[in-house]
Chains A and B, each alone.
Chain A
């Protein structure tokens, strides 16, 4: 039972270290083969177990661990100093091997030290648990504040398991806890640290642990469920930012709790079916989802569809057709295929959608696919002259609707103050936009929480000017209206076309945007967005090109509209991979180095007894070394043969303390108390001389003697025999 338990723990330990390595490698490429590192870790666990059986002192163990990297460093330093170059890629190859060696050594030593203490002390498991937890939590800390999208592992796993990201994160946490618990449970089984004198009595462990385990699992499942429910609400409010909310009349999908688009989670891929070169906002592209224009008290909410007939407010799964007659001056048709990656309650498209049709979804990765045929603007505002605002066809109610001013008179005061020198409305717009662009400070956390019940825009505009797009859009709208310009706040996505690929645009949570729109006669609703010059916190992150490429590959290739020469730009862009093929001569050279390394290690170990402080260990090491030397001359001790009889058989000399050695060997608890350290050194010196004489007597030819001893020095098993101290 004990052997099985130890074996399970041994395997589990290797598995945990291996999974940690794989995990770390997934986050940050270590630069060496994972299997090689796992091998190093497994080897270290094995050696640590053996070390523990040998009862090495902690001091010796620490010294050994300090010596290893220093030794490796010295070797590579010396190799770098070698003046001749046996290979043209010598330096590169050496650097690669050095890198691999240090990676291997690092993992080996971490594993060795942790495993050594794990096998030695019961409470060490808790140190390991705490360290492991901190390490694991720091690895996965990217998901904090519900930024699941920042963790590729979460997105990939959620994608693979077809689960929500929140569920996936909880699943990762639960798996981690279960592994920790099982490991803790097995490591703390009373059998593991039972002393020989202690008696252990156990009832039926299978029944008992099954019952206990089931109870714990039920409690754990309940905890996970509660945790999910608790975080689910937060995720809904903080992460989705209204993306999945329905556009209900009288409510605003926008909120002022946190900045829109706090995460870079991919939400949709838009494929523009054709060039859109005359985009007036280039390189930006605005996808409108809905608009809020109804001012109730101090907040803009979704108005009746009659006021905003250009806004579809329909689900991506339902058919939409524009029935109103619009003046499509300065607009051109633009077809867009939209592949949704997350649930959207409202379909969005570039500007005036004419119709929206659901398409067949051929890939499970996409939640739904639709095509929007829209009339996209092509005008240049700077070219337009005699701009008039408002639609002459609007009735009074609509006119009032879009001109309804904010009850807070400060908006009007500010707007008038800013634009008093501008007689023209269009220049007034420019002045307001300039003012906001220069004065506003972009931040996702403006810290105006205390104003939640009141007007959330006032603390921004009349306060510290800190805010995000929702604040800017509302402030712009309120001031436009104060100046008699019909305005509304539109919400949807804003994307940078420079990050698109072959007409494919990846939309993400942090592309969610709100902007102000004003109605210009004969042009319709025009975007008036600001980009503050001062930025306190920036949510913008570059588009994940790999993800976009992966998603492009998933889109039905039959519908691809990629120009034939599109691939040309990519030629030569691939990173030049380092040639890892090491030449044969270098391998040969490396084998020689390996032999030298073994020679060095063996030389150190063969003289280690001179450094050891413990008297018994010193004596035992000394005799081991000399017996090994005798073994090199085919003088081998029989199994179970006492050293006294062996040495009397080999040599005619009398070895004084050989009785003591027999006692030390056969009784590990034997203490050498009859002799002090100085006397021991003297004794060792004398005995050494006798051993030398014996070897001389055995082999008179000094050349053969040298060869035989040399082979002992380059034999890797010499180190193992010395460490095991069994000859």
Chain B
């Protein structure tokens, strides 16, 4: 009933209260020949009526003809949390005084709305306005429609609606990566002597050691050996002809980009170490795998709308790894998750069940927690407790400082 009334008369609660106040004045002071109250009631009632008529008329007759189109000025792709300029071309939007029009872009798959454009006193037939938008996460953001809210500037009446765009418009938001990072690399096929120590201190292969020759250069000398035995030995590491190992990575990257960012950096680092990557993420299809940076990035961008932390998605990720490596037994599985997904009992239980399942398949999960800022240990205490119960090693990485 109220909705029906609101459809015809776009009245607000505030207006109703003011009308009640005017009625009180009318049946009180005005009935006692209070001329000032009479004038006030009459003037304000007329103003409310006039503004109501203006809003209804403008909405019915003027805003019907409005056309809105968007042009994305940014040719190259941009990452989230970066302002992207775009222009909005508006035709046939004439606004009478005291009225304002608020426009927002609405997108498919998301409730996210762009910051408002507020227009008033428009007399021109067509004009364009430049706006900026900062998307909260990666993905291809397709503009669904333009939401409008016509109201008077006093906030007495308002009418909302949508304009459909004639041409589709979208914004591609990528994941920004960074070069620093200190990751342990764990092959999925465990060999004796493998360790999760940092790659800053690589262990030497004895077969690569040769007697020192002056042409070798000082940097190649194994000084520890010299210190012990007073023999100059130099290292001659050789590049492997085939990849050194395979790394299985699952990015539990939800709409928080930090896990996706860390995943890409990790892949970058791993591929530089001549290792093969088997990467999949939440929301990706079961068969889909990425083996390099570019494919992983694509996968992370395309899968974002389905990337929910659910039991089904988690099982998909694990099973696809198992199916993919039927011939070789996976020893380690790197799981990358953002700190925001490690909070809350429901999420923790989901991850815990995933870990249990992984462990039941005789695979050692290695958890990376990604955060866009300093990791708050007290916030993640429940998660850490769960990990310690499961006897899991943990590596935390802050991958983004503002």
Which A residues are closer than 8 A to B by beta carbons?
122-123, 126, 130, 133, 136-137, 140-141, 143-146, 166, 169-170, 172-174, 176-177, 181, 184-185, 188-190, 194-195, 197-205, 207-209, 211-213, 216, 219-220, 223-224, 227, 231, 234, 673-674, 676
Cα-based distance from A216 to B132 in the complex (angstroms): 37
How near does chain B come to A568, taking the closest CB pair, in angstroms? 45
Cα-based distance from A185 to B377 in the complex (angstroms): 51
Q: Does B122 interact with chain A (Cβ within 8 Å)?
A: yes
Contact with A along B145-166 (1 / 0, CB 8 A): 0000000011100000000000
Q: Report the nearest B residue to A177, measured CB to CB.
A: B43
Interface residues of B in 102-161 (CB under 8 A from A): 115-124, 127, 129-132, 153-155
Q: Is the CB of A209 within 8 A of B97?
A: yes
Interface residues of B in 232-247 (CB under 8 A from A): none
Choice from A146, A169, A198, A202 contacting B115 with Cβ under 8 Å: A198
Q: Is the CB of B47 within 8 A of A216?
A: yes
Cα-based distance from A12 to B371 in the complex (angstroms): 50
What are 12 of the A-B contact pairs (CB < 8 Å)?
A: A133-B40, A176-B40, A181-B43, A184-B154, A185-B98, A199-B131, A203-B120, A205-B121, A208-B97, A223-B43, A231-B38, A674-B374
Q: Report the nearest A residue to B116, measured CB to CB.
A: A198
Chain B residues with Cβ under 8 A from A227's Cβ?
A: 35, 38-39, 42
Q: Is the CB of B35 within 8 A of A169?
A: yes
Q: Report the nearest B residue to A671, measured CB to CB.
A: B376
Cα-based distance from A199 to B47 in the complex (angstroms): 28
Q: Is the CB of B130 within 8 A of A141?
A: no
Q: Is the CB of B33 within 8 A of A146?
A: yes
Q: Does B100 interact with chain A (Cβ within 8 Å)?
A: yes
Q: Is the CB of A199 within 8 A of B118?
A: yes
Chain B residues with Cβ under 8 A from A136's Cβ?
A: 36
Q: Report the nearest B residue to A129, measured CB to CB.
A: B18
Choice from B14, B29, B122 contacting A123 with Cβ under 8 Å: B14
A143-B36, A223-B39, A227-B38 as given contacts; A209 in contact with B117, CB under 8 Å: no
Interface residues of B in 1-55 (CB under 8 A from A): 14, 17-18, 21, 25, 29, 32-40, 42-44, 46-47, 50
Cα-based distance from A122 to B154 in the complex (angstroms): 9
Beyond A126-B18, A177-B44, A190-B153, 5 additional contacts (C-beta under 8 Å) are A177-B40, A203-B124, A208-B96, A224-B39, A227-B35
A201-B119, A209-B97 as given contacts; A144 in contact with B32, CB under 8 Å: yes
Q: Is the CB of A169 within 8 A of B18?
A: no
Q: Does B75 interact with chain A (Cβ within 8 Å)?
A: no
Contact with A along B65-82 (1 / 0, CB 8 A): 000000000000000000
Q: Does B378 interact with chain A (Cβ within 8 Å)?
A: yes
Q: Is the CB of B18 within 8 A of A203?
A: no
Cα-based distance from A188 to B118 in the complex (angstroms): 13
Choice from B32, B123, B130 contacting A204 with Cβ under 8 Å: B123
Cα-based distance from A676 to B377 in the complex (angstroms): 13
Q: Does B361 interact with chain A (Cβ within 8 Å)?
A: no
Interface size on B, residues (CB 8 A): 49
Q: Is the CB of A199 within 8 A of B40?
A: no
Contact with A along B237-276 (1 / 0, CB 8 A): 0000000000000000000000000000000000000000
Q: Does B379 interact with chain A (Cβ within 8 Å)?
A: yes
Choice from B29, B35, B131 contacting A166 with Cβ under 8 Å: B35
Q: Report the nearest B residue to A137, measured CB to CB.
A: B37
Q: Is the CB of A177 within 8 A of B39?
A: yes
Chain A residues with Cβ under 8 A from B46's Cβ?
A: 219-220, 223
Choice from A146, A177, A201 contacting B129 with Cβ under 8 Å: A201
Residue with the highest number of chain B CB atoms closer than 10 Å, among A143, A146, A177, A219: A177
How near does chain B come to A229, taking the closest CB pair, in angstroms? 12
Q: Report the nearest A residue to B35, measured CB to CB.
A: A169
Chain B residues with Cβ under 8 A from A184's Cβ?
A: 154
Main secondary structure of the interface of B (DSSP, over half): mixed
How near does chain A come to B193, taking the closest CB pair, in angstroms? 39
Closest CB pairs A-B (n = 9): A212-B97, A173-B36, A208-B121, A173-B39, A197-B115, A203-B121, A208-B97, A144-B32, A198-B116
Cα-based distance from A202 to B97 in the complex (angstroms): 11
Cα-based distance from A295 to B240 in the complex (angstroms): 135
Chain A residues with Cβ under 8 A from B120's Cβ?
A: 190, 201-203, 205, 208
Chain A residues with Cβ under 8 A from B40's Cβ?
A: 133, 137, 173, 176-177
A188-B155, A673-B379 as given contacts; A173 in contact with B35, CB under 8 Å: yes
How near does chain B come to A184, taking the closest CB pair, in angstroms? 6
Q: Is the CB of B39 within 8 A of A174?
A: yes
Chain A residues with Cβ under 8 A from B378's Cβ?
A: 673-674, 676
Choice from B36, B130, B154 contacting A169 with Cβ under 8 Å: B36
Chain A residues with Cβ under 8 A from B25's Cβ?
A: 133, 137
A141-B34, A184-B154 as given contacts; A199 in contact with B50, CB under 8 Å: no
Cα-based distance from A47 to B153 in the complex (angstroms): 27
Cα-based distance from A126 to B156 in the complex (angstroms): 11
Q: Report the nearest A residue to B17, measured CB to CB.
A: A126
Q: Is the CB of B36 within 8 A of A176?
A: yes
Cα-based distance from A8 to B377 in the complex (angstroms): 50
How near does chain A come to B67, taking the closest CB pair, in angstroms? 16
A144-B32, A231-B35 as given contacts; A202 in contact with B121, CB under 8 Å: yes
Chain B residues with Cβ under 8 A from A190's Cβ?
A: 100, 118, 120, 153
How near does chain B come to A163, taking the closest CB pair, in angstroms? 14
How near does chain A come to B17, taking the closest CB pair, in angstroms? 8
Q: Is the CB of A170 within 8 A of B50?
A: no
A126-B18, A184-B154, A674-B378 as given contacts; A203 in contact with B123, CB under 8 Å: yes
How near does chain A come to B11, taking the closest CB pair, in angstroms? 14
Q: Is the CB of A200 within 8 A of B118?
A: yes
Q: Report the nearest B residue to A209, measured CB to CB.
A: B97
Q: Is the CB of B118 within 8 A of A194?
A: yes
How near does chain B come to A700, taking the closest CB pair, in angstroms? 40
Cα-based distance from A177 to B36 in the complex (angstroms): 9
A199-B116, A673-B376 as given contacts; A212 in contact with B21, CB under 8 Å: no
Chain A residues with Cβ under 8 A from B47's Cβ?
A: 181, 216
Residue with the highest number of chain B CB atoms closer than 10 Å, among A133, A195, A220: A133
Interface residues of B in 298-320 (CB under 8 A from A): none
Q: Report the nearest A residue to B36, measured CB to CB.
A: A173
Q: Is the CB of A199 within 8 A of B36?
A: no
How near does chain A come to B86, taking the closest CB pair, in angstroms? 11
Cα-based distance from A212 to B97 in the complex (angstroms): 6
Q: Is the CB of B32 within 8 A of A126?
A: no
How near does chain A come to B56, taking the closest CB pair, in angstroms? 17
A177-B39, A216-B47, A674-B376 as given contacts; A203 in contact with B122, CB under 8 Å: yes
Chain B residues with Cβ under 8 A from A205's Cβ?
A: 120-121
Q: Is the CB of B155 within 8 A of A223?
A: no
Chain B residues with Cβ under 8 A from A146's Cβ?
A: 33
Chain A residues with Cβ under 8 A from B121's Cβ?
A: 202-205, 207-209
Choice from A126, A144, A181 contacting B14 with Cβ under 8 Å: A126
Chain A residues with Cβ under 8 A from B100's Cβ?
A: 190
Chain B residues with Cβ under 8 A from A166's Cβ?
A: 35
Q: Is the CB of A199 within 8 A of B42?
A: no
Contact with A along B216-240 (1 / 0, CB 8 A): 0000000000000000000000000
Q: Report the nearest B residue to A130, measured CB to CB.
A: B21
How near does chain B come to A528, taking the closest CB pair, in angstroms? 35
How near does chain B come to A127, taking the closest CB pair, in angstroms? 10
Cα-based distance from A145 to B35 in the complex (angstroms): 9
Q: Report the nearest A residue to B402, measured CB to CB.
A: A667
How near does chain B come to A232, taking the closest CB pair, in angstroms? 11
Choice from A201, A673, A674, A676 contacting B118 with Cβ under 8 Å: A201
Q: Report the nearest B residue to A166, measured CB to CB.
A: B35
How near does chain A come to B241, taking the closest CB pair, in angstroms? 49
Q: Report the nearest A residue to B33, measured CB to CB.
A: A145
How near does chain B come to A106, taking the closest CB pair, in angstroms? 26
Q: Report the nearest A residue to B123, measured CB to CB.
A: A203
Chain A residues with Cβ under 8 A from B154's Cβ?
A: 184-185, 188
Cα-based distance from A172 to B378 in the complex (angstroms): 65
Chain A residues with Cβ under 8 A from B153's Cβ?
A: 185, 188-190
